[in-house]
Amino acid sequence: MDFSLNNARAQKVWCDTDNLWLLLIDGRQLSVPLIFFPRLSNADSESRSNYELSGGGIAIHWESLDEDLYVPNLLLGITDVNRLNKSA
């Protein structure tokens, strides 16, 4: 299997109380602390579960939360762009 960023596409997304979880198409699972995503962290579980995958799973969109994540960035450790810009 090719474990490169080319396969950095989600097939399933879910949250527990502390983490955002992704199951990637190549079988990898990724967890990222919700605290890195203020909109997701502050949302209720129903809002977190109401997402859409786009680009064959390369991006995740939460319409009601105005949140968009790019899956390859998550694998590279790049989280909420707004959070990164505030520290610059």
User: Which residue shows structure tokens 């064959």?
Assistant: 56
Give the pTM.
0.84
pLDDT at 5 (0 to 100): 74
Contact 39, 66 (CB under 8 A): yes
pLDDT at 83 (0 to 100): 54
pLDDT digits over 11-59, tens only? 999 999 999 999 999 999 999 999 999 999 999 999 999 999 999 999 9
pLDDT at 82 over 60: no
In a 3-state reduction of DSSP, which class is residue 3? coil
In a 3-state reduction of DSSP, which class is residue 59? strand
| Residue 54 burial class via C-beta count within 10 angstroms: exposed 0-12, middle 13-18, buried 19 and up | exposed
Tokens standing for residue 64: 């009601």
